[in-house]
Chains A and B, each alone.
Chain A
């Protein structure tokens, strides 16, 4: 199993550009989520999904869209990138069968200039 795979690892965007961070998991987990991590702020939840076709907002959803067309994939879209979205993004998944443990991807470093 590859676990949770995120791409790209690093990305530089210009203000106003759009892009999609990809996330895939091969563990058949029903729950997936996106966090961002900023210095001094810790991990903050952006969006989450409890199953294919179902998504909801977390703590800091503005400027981001998500969709969950399959169990495996949970892409995060930045609609019009802003410097405030410069951050490290982590995708995560979990299943009730794993005892509430969250499995994280390796992160995507995004810089908006």
Chain B
């Protein structure tokens, strides 16, 4: 069966350091992978999308890598700030089709806490 695994333990880091979150998957052939942020009591918010033919994607302090051989994505937040504290979710299209359109499968998320 298809599985998406993210670190279940919370990640605690000091402000200014780089946070690295991991997403591993099995039995998927994804055309792309997405990362979302979720704050307590709120809905998830889209952050970044990386396609299968892209090794790395950046957006401001965020960087995502995608290794389809290892079946893994890494999500980095550089120069982390307390405001980055949230749960981060990785998501894949179960059909592996960029135009399937209907929904994504989500990992359970990793909680990040950045302390001053």
A interface residues with partner B (beta carbon < 8 Å)? 4, 30-31, 33, 35, 40-43, 45, 48-50, 56, 58, 90, 92, 94, 96, 99-107
- Docked CA distance A42–B92 (Å): 13
Number of A-B contacts defined by CB within 8 Å = 62
Q: What are 10 residue pairs bridging A and B, where the CB atoms are less than 8 Å apart in the complex? A: A40-B108, A43-B44, A50-B102, A56-B102, A90-B43, A96-B99, A96-B101, A101-B34, A103-B46, A107-B43
- Docked CA distance A92–B91 (Å): 14
Chain B residue with the shortest CB-CB distance to A95: B101
Q: How large is the interface on B (under 10, 10 to 19, 20 to 34, 35 or more residues)?
A: 20 to 34
**B70 at interface, CB cutoff 8 A:** no
15 additional A-B pairs beyond A50-B102, A90-B43, A100-B101, beta carbons within 8 Å, are: A4-B43, A31-B103, A35-B103, A35-B106, A40-B108, A42-B89, A43-B89, A43-B106, A45-B103, A56-B102, A100-B93, A101-B46, A103-B46, A104-B45, A107-B43
Given A58-B103, A100-B49, A105 and B32 contact (CB-CB distance below 8 Å): no
**B42 at interface, CB cutoff 8 A:** yes
Chain A residue with the shortest CB-CB distance to B109: A42
Residues of A within 8 A of B102 (CB): 31, 33, 48-50, 56
Q: How far is the CB of B43 from chain A (nearest CB, A)?
A: 3
